[in-house]
Chains A and B, each alone.
Chain A
Amino acid sequence: MKPTTLLILLSASISAAFAQQEFTQRGFIESYNQFYPDTVPIDRSNIVSDELFREDMNFKLTPNLQINAAFDGRFDSHQQVERTASLDFWDRGLQRPAMSIRDLNLVYTKGRFTATLGKQFIRWGKSDILNPTDRFAPHDFLTLTDDYFLGVTAARFMYDTGKDSIDAIVQPWFTPSRTPLLNQRWTPLPPDTWSDLYANYGSAYPGRASFGVRWNHTGSAAEYSFNYYDGFDNLPLYNVLPAPSPDVFGLQRFFPELREMGGDLAVPMHWATIKGEIANFSSSDKRSDQYVLYVLQLQRQIKEWNLVGGYAGEVVYDSRSPFFFSPERGYARSFLGRAGWTIDPRSDLSVQGIVKQNGRGGLLEATYSHTFGQHWRATVGYVMVRGDENDFIGQYRHNSHEIVSLRYSF
């Protein structure tokens, strides 16, 4: 879909919505800044500044029909954002688009049935920090420790009785996760062995749609779901191809087929809530690993403290790929937890940590945030990364950094 088509659709929607006088919006402008004390061979920058404008709109055309739309405008100091002024919809670029449609979807409800068509956010799973069953949620991993989700263009059909829901999804257009840029610090490769040795052959995107179905039951004693996904891994593997020069090899990203079968569970007890999630990943692609990821956590609220802690495990029963980038697998075989403290109505403190069970890698992120008046929020924080260079987390040990951000919400 061309941006102009989208704009026309958006304009028509806005006009129709205003005619019905049913319009809500929210948004913010944020300056998010990271200060890295250490430089790395591939990246000599100490400061990365990212500016974001976001506008989120909801148009209720009739009681049964609504349109959601959101727009992002970005600029940064570190070339993580494209410098072209075009409006992006598909989120397939290696860099973040300067202007993009974050989501744009039509929601139709009729009784217990809901259909959502268009670019949207779909979240599955119940655990915190790591969600193995969350298959329709590609990430932006340009800065690994600040990853966020990307929308997918899909048709979602849900039948919801209140206690049980069936969720069926068809995603005809693939959206990949955005992986760290090869010339920046979150790709931990020495420049002299890398940057001059490969030719970028782009990406080979899947030629068919992805499908998923999930049944969720909400009971008084427990909430659980089962899901099945047949599609593609949103994180790439790499094809090595011949290049024009013998000293150079060609590198092409591809997204292997992926089938996932899993479930999640939340059992609220008097003393804590038990949360679990498990997923089995298999693939017809001989270059893709087959494995199981699982998470088991306890969550407890103590006064103004919200505590979550547990373990994320991985069992690889068919190892086929020697090289891959997968944060969810990299964070597995770890103890993970989060503590959030609501200090008062205006300020809160959050600490999140992941420690590998073998002690070879660890990540700790602490942030303090304070609101001023009705619109402003300031956040300061520190992300500490430690470990061995052979560990997924430890390889980023030079990327500890401070965070200072300021957001104006409207």
Chain B
Amino acid sequence: MNSVRAGRRVASPARQIKTVHCLLAAALMASPLLAQSAREIVQTSQDRTRANSEHYEGVLTVIDSHGKTTTKRWIYDRIGSFGNSKAILRFTDPPEVKGVALLIINHPDRASDQWMWRPAIERDTRVALQDRSTRFFGTGFSFEDLEERDVDQFDYALLNQESMDGAPCWKIVATPKQAKSSQYTRTFLWIRKDNYVLAMMQGWSKNRMTRSIHYTNIARVQDIWTARRLEVWDAERRSTTVLTLDKLQYNTPMREQDFTVEALRRLG
């Protein structure tokens, strides 16, 4: 396969976000063989991003429908295997939101658990499942977009082959097995054939495309192909969010005890 040529591992940009994409797949009435192939592609894409931990500093530029720009920064740390990992995302800038943090506990068999810490009120609040379609702190990402889900939570179908940014891709549709577990009734994924990196994701709610994420600036980081620029289009608000991943590192030493609700408070 092309992936073998490309390297041992393929990168997904911000894994958590990529996961979302991978997770969301709508099942079509395809033949069992095709469905299996689509799942395998997604599985391979996920497998190639495997790392014991991940760290990056994200710069977010949010451009609203009037063209006004807001910049935010966060630090992202993740520990554990894909779909069964824990992640903490902590804002570092602007000062107004500094210290606000989100803990994500991903589960292989269901949607993640999430807690938000707000230093201004010294309290953590759980983000309920029905709230996951909400935008995360004024960015184009919803809470759901920040979680990882195991490949088994979705049904997949391979639609066709399309080019994305000049690279041949498989176009796959994913549908959640549990209808209420996702804001997206179906998700279209473009996975590059050369390195199995997710190149584009489109989340649809019924017959309406609500969000897309375009993955670019793909590079090999510690043997993992990773997109270091994500451009989110929020169709409902007509806003764009660009996330740039700086200082990306995989397999850095991290501690389990720093990924709990208590740690949110302690490190807040």
| Bound CA–CA A345/B139 (angstroms) | 7
Complex alpha-carbon distance, A276 and B131, angstroms: 19
B residues less than 8 Å from A158 (CB atoms): 262
Bound complex: CA of A63 vs CA of B129, how far in Å?
33
Closest-CB distance, B71 to chain A (whole angstroms): 7
User: Which residues of B sit under 8 angstroms from A299, Cβ to Cβ?
Assistant: 128
Given A63-B255, A220-B113, A266-B126, also A114-B262 (CB < 8 A): yes
Which of A26, A107, A303, A377 is packed against the most chain B CB atoms within 10 Å? A26
Is B128 within 8 A of A301, CB to CB?
A: yes
Report A-chain residues with C-beta under 8 Å of the C-beta of B129. Answer: 268, 270
**B64 with A223: CB separation less than 8 A:** no
State whether A303 touches B96 (Cβ < 8 A).
no
Question: Is there an interface contact between A301 and B130, defined as CB atoms closer than 8 Å?
Answer: yes
Q: Are A409 and B94 in contact (CB under 8 A)?
A: yes
Q: Are B99 and A268 in contact (CB under 8 A)?
A: no
Query: B93 contacts which chain A residues (CB < 8 A)?
Result: 374
Query: How far is the CB of A284 from the nearest CB of chain B, in Å?
Result: 31
Task: Report the minimal beta-carbon distance from A110 to chain B, rounded to whole angstroms.
Answer: 9
In the complex, the answer to whether B266 meets A123 with C-beta atoms within 8 Å is no
- Complex interface: chain A residues within 8 A of B131 (CB): 300-301, 306
Q: In the complex, which of the residues A123, A344, A377 contacts B96, with contact meaning CB atoms closer than 8 Å?
A: A377
CB closest residue in chain A, given B265: A123
**CA gap between A235 and B94 in the complex, in Å:** 37
> For residue B62, which residue of chain A has the nearest CB?
A345
Q: What CA separation (Å) do A354 and B258 show in the bound complex?
A: 38
Tell whether, in the assembled complex, residue A149 and residue B122 are in contact, meaning their CB atoms are under 8 Å apart.
yes
Give the docked Cα–Cα distance between A160 and B262 (Å). Answer: 7
* Residue A121 lies at the interface, judged by CB distance under 8 Å to chain B: yes
Write out the residue numbers on chain A whose beta carbons fall within 8 Å of the beta carbon of B133: 303
**Which residue of B has the minimal Cβ distance to A58?**
B267
Within 151-183 of A, Cβ neighbours of B (below 8 Å) are at: 158, 160, 162, 165
Question: Chain A residues with Cβ under 8 A from B220's Cβ?
Answer: none
From B64, B130, B255, give the contact of A300 (CB < 8 A).
B130
Q: Contacts A114-B262, A304-B135, A409-B94 given: A344-B64 contact, CB under 8 Å?
A: yes
CA–CA, A374 and B110, complex, Å: 37
B102-139 vs A, CB cutoff 8 Å, 1 = contact: the mask equals: 00010100100100000101110010111101110011
Q: Give the complex CA separation of A39 and B68 in angstroms.
A: 43
Most chain-A CB neighbours within 10 Å: which of B70, B95, B98, B126?
B95
Q: Which residue of A lies closest to B121 (CB)?
A: A123
Q: Is there a chain B Cβ closer than 8 Å to A28's Cβ?
A: yes
Q: Does A111 contact B (CB under 8 A)?
A: yes
Q: Scoring A residues 265 to 293 as 1 if CB is less than 8 Å from chain B, else 0, what string do you get? A: 01011111100000000000000000000
Residues of chain B lying within 8 A (CB to CB) of residue A272: 128, 130
- Partner pick for A160 among B62, B105, B110, B260, CB 8 A cutoff: B260
Given A114-B266, A123-B123, A269-B130, decide whether A344 and B94 contact each other with a Cβ distance below 8 A. no
Does A201 sit within 8 A of B, measured CB to CB? no
Check if A218 sits within 8 Å of B94, measured CB to CB.
no
Are A28 and B95 within 8 A (Cβ)? yes
Residues of B within 8 A of A345 (CB): 62, 64, 70, 138-139
Interface residues of B in 251-268 (CB under 8 A from A): 255-257, 259-262, 266
Number of interface residues of B (CB under 8 A): 38
| Shortest Cβ distance from residue A55 to the other chain B in the assembled complex, whole angstroms | 12
**Once bound together, how far apart are the Cα atoms of A162 and B260, in whole Å?**
5
Q: Smallest Cβ distance from B209 to chain A, in angstroms?
A: 17
A44 proximal to B (CB < 8 A): no
Are B122 and A268 in contact, CB atoms less than 8 angstroms apart? Answer: no
B180 interfacial by beta-carbon distance below 8 Å: yes
| Cβ-defined partner of A410 (8 Å) among B95, B134, B256, B261 | B95
Contacts of A304 in B (CB 8 A): 134-135
In the assembled complex, the CB of B252 is this many whole angstroms from the nearest CB of chain A, namely 13
Query: Is the Cβ of B180 less than 8 Å from the Cβ of A107?
Result: no
Alpha-carbon distance A63/B260, docked complex (angstroms) = 16
Cβ-based interface call for A342 (8 A): yes
A107 and B266 contacting across the interface, CB-CB below 8 Å: yes
Known A-B contacts A218-B113, A273-B128, A409-B95; the reply to A344 vs B262 at CB < 8 A is no
Task: Answer yes or no: A2 CB below 8 A from chain B CBs.
Answer: no
Separation of A270 and B179 alpha carbons in the complex (Å): 11
B122 near A121 (CB under 8 angstroms)? yes
Contact yes or no, A342 B138, CB < 8 A? yes
What CA separation (Å) do A27 and B131 show in the bound complex? Answer: 30
Indicate if the CB atoms of B257 and A112 lie closer than 8 Å: yes
Query: Hey, which chain A residues are within 8 Å of B257, CB to CB?
Result: 109, 111-112, 160
A15 to chain B, nearest CB (A): 22
Q: How far is the CA of A273 from the CA of B130 in the complex (A)?
A: 9
A371 within 8 Å of B (CB atoms): yes
Complex Cα spacing A311 to B126, Å: 20
Interface centre among B71, B94, B96 (most CB of A within 10 A): B96
Residue A83 lies at the interface, judged by CB distance under 8 Å to chain B: no
Measured in the bound complex, the distance between the Cα atoms of B99 and A53 in whole Å is 18
Residue of B nearest to A408 (CB): B95
- Establish whether residues A26 and B70, one from each chain, have CB atoms under 8 Å apart when the complex forms: no
Q: Most chain-B Cβ atoms within 10 A of its Cβ — which of A266, A270, A301?
A: A301
Q: How far is the CA of A375 from the CA of B71 in the complex (A)?
A: 11
Interface residues of B in 78-103 (CB under 8 A from A): 93-96, 98-99
12 additional A-B residue pairs with CB within 8 Å, beyond A162-B259, A301-B128, A374-B94: A26-B95, A26-B119, A109-B266, A160-B260, A165-B260, A218-B113, A270-B130, A299-B128, A303-B134, A344-B138, A346-B68, A374-B95
The 7 A-B pairs of least Cβ separation, nearest first, read: A345-B138, A409-B95, A301-B131, A268-B128, A374-B94, A160-B262, A273-B128
21 contacting pairs across A/B (C-beta < 8 A): A63-B255, A109-B257, A123-B122, A158-B262, A160-B261, A165-B260, A220-B107, A266-B126, A268-B126, A268-B129, A270-B129, A271-B130, A273-B128, A273-B130, A299-B128, A300-B131, A345-B62, A346-B70, A346-B138, A374-B93, A374-B96
